[in-house]
Structure 1
Amino acid sequence: MTFKTLAAALAIFSLTACGTGGPQYLVESKPSDLHVRASVSTLLVRTVSLPTYAADEKIAIQDEKGVVREAEFGLWADEPERATTLQVSRQLNQMTSAKVAPEPWPLPEPPQGVLDIRFETFIATNENVFRMSGQYFMGSETPDPIDDPDFDKPPRQVPPPLPSKARLFDIAIPLANKGPAAIAAAQAAALTSLTESIARDLSR
């Protein structure tokens, strides 16, 4: 191999190594034992809103001084907002009687209910927990009034199938260690806990 050929090969290897960005980690939740009957038959989950540091493919942690920084041990295997939205949708499908899907809505009939989750905190903290806090909102449109057969009476108002709700949440799951696998496991457990709370709300 000539010097030029060797140099070119090394350059390609360097670019490939830089492009991979290190090992990638999945966030996979274990099945929940919770099963409830939802008050709606279909539910749309809007794409979740994550803090800027959590929406990046680079894994963020909080150091001993409270500074949020990028970890040096790898990347998330999927775009975090997409992965979190899909995980919530899948778990609600398993936990409830409703047909649940993320946006854009894939079914021909419009959804009866809508869920919107907005995270304020989503990080492995310097207190050795994965903390997940924020708010979620759910509700549905009020159906059109039903005409009464007796024309002397006004149309009957029908309540929405899913009453409007706004809930705060703050979940902390202990970290086994500060490694990426432990962070992914704690994040998955926190998402399951949040989804169980949402499922219970859907049944009321």
Structure 2
Amino acid sequence: MVRFFVVLAAMALIACTPPIDRLAMPRLQSELSLSPLVGSAMVRTVILPTYAELEEVAFETPSGLIAINENVLWADMPDRAVTLNIAQTLANILNTRVGPDPWPFVGLPDVAIDIRIARMLAGADGVFRLTGQYYVGGDGIDFPNSTRAFAITQDMPDQSLQSIAAAQSAALLTLSEQIARSLGR
């Protein structure tokens, strides 16, 4: 009988909780088209700062603190969304097989790409910043291992959630184009 009341109370609490809104990152298409220097590439790891790994949307306050909006969640887990976004954009630019880890194709990829993002944040000054470093490593092919730093800024018209999502998407497009230039010509 006690179990029945516990289940009933839990169901009532769930019914009273308002649904959480979700924010999707708009998908942008690159105008860049390159001939690939590799037959395939895997986006192996995308490491985000702790605040950017959260489902909640993070932003910088005027006092310089990082805050989150608890009323709106990203539509997908941020690390997964960023990984898939970059993999798809690279595939479109290079017109070759590009996929996330775990590798979805038969055989091994020619190169693996690791991305370490140090900052991915909408600034209180109206600028979205994406900084970090990416690594490209070839295994079993004649392709030089390389590392490159990136510091991408994207102006935002305001601090709205839509502006943050659009700026993040634009910054990731720029990063994808930078990576594609290291894998194509």
Once residues 145 and 93 of structure 2 are traced to their aligned partners in structure 1, the CA distance between those partners, rounded to angstroms, is: 20
1:185 aligns with 2:166: yes
Letter in 2 for 1:13: A
For the residues of structure 2 that align with 1:43 and 1:109, how far apart are their CA atoms?
12
TM-score (normalised: structure 2): 0.90
Matched, 1:104 2:102: yes
2:106 counterpart letter in structure 1: P
Per-residue displacement from partner, 1:9-31 (whole Å, max 9, x unpaired)?
864422x42xx3x2100112321
Q: Separation in 2 of the partners of 1:12 and 1:165?
A: 50
Q: Which has the larger radius of gyration?
A: 1
In structure 2, how many angstroms separate the alpha carbons of the residues matched to 1:113 and 1:78? 26
Unaligned runs of 5+ in 1: 1-6, 144-159
Q: How many residues align?
A: 178
Distance (Å, rounded) in 2 between the aligned partners of 1:12 and 1:197: 45
Q: 1:75 to 1:112 in 2, by over 3 A?
A: same
Greater share of residues in strand: 2
Separation of aligned partners in 2, 1:118 and 1:194: 12
Q: How does 1:10-159 map to 2 (within 5 A)?
A: 11-14=13-16, 16-17=17-18, 20=19, 22-143=20-141
1:203 equivalent in alignment to 2:184: yes
- Match for 2:147: what amino acid? A
TM-score by length of 1: 0.82
Say if 2:25 and 2:165, in contact at 8 Å, map to a contact too. Answer: yes
8 Å CA contact 1:130–1:187 kept in 2: the answer is yes
**Identity percentage of aligned residues:** 37
Equivalent-residue separation in structure 2 for 1:175 and 1:73 (angstroms) = 21
Gaps of 5+ in 2: 1-7
Alpha-carbon separation, structure 2, partners of 1:177 and 1:126: 9
Alignment-mate amino acid for residue 162 of structure 2:
A
